[in-house]
Structure 1
Amino acid sequence: MELTVPVSGGEVWADDTGGDKPPVVLLHPGVGDSRVWDPVLPKLTEHHRVIRYDVRGYGRSPKPTVPYSLRDDLATVLDHFELRSVPLVGCSMGGGTAMSLALAARKG
């Protein structure tokens, strides 16, 4: 299901395959958008609920109009889908965002 998730001062496009399988969140690199995951989606969805989104200014998400934080947007997306503990799979920028969130959670 495609939807728009409100984030601080904006919104991001997201896609949720839904269902009751274990969730996984995919985070795209800075050289592309969430479509980079298209080749692996069929296999992943066999065993997982897959959530992916486009960072502001990428793919189907509007360009940012205010300063924002990739980490805060990820936290908001996770809250939107009511995910407290979930595997994050990130490539390049997406991996950095996942690491940033994990380090912030460790400090908190």
Structure 2
Amino acid sequence: WPLVHFTSISTTRDALNGETDIQLSAELYLGELHPDHVQVELFGAPLNGNGYHTVVVPLEQNGNGSTSIARYSLKTRIPLGRDAELRLRVIPRHPLLAHKHELGLIYWKDVD
């Protein structure tokens, strides 16, 4: 797990009327992990007067760049404005896990 990191991230976002259209692609170095054993998610959170309102959207895997690099993408609209803080997170995924945070492993990366 300590070898997991993004090798590239490309994003475009357009905000209008409190929503943001996002198009994102990313390559993730997995080391010896299999792409089926991780979940990549976009995590968005603006700070507003009522506290945090978060949005979590899973990315779709689009194949492998090499034996240890997996490609992911996302095209969506989220109910957050231009000032939203966007981050990618990678968490373990396996059918035997009771909860996605059970192992306490998570990798975060800020999105520009």
Flag whether TM exceeds 0.5 (same fold): no
TM-score by length of 1: 0.27
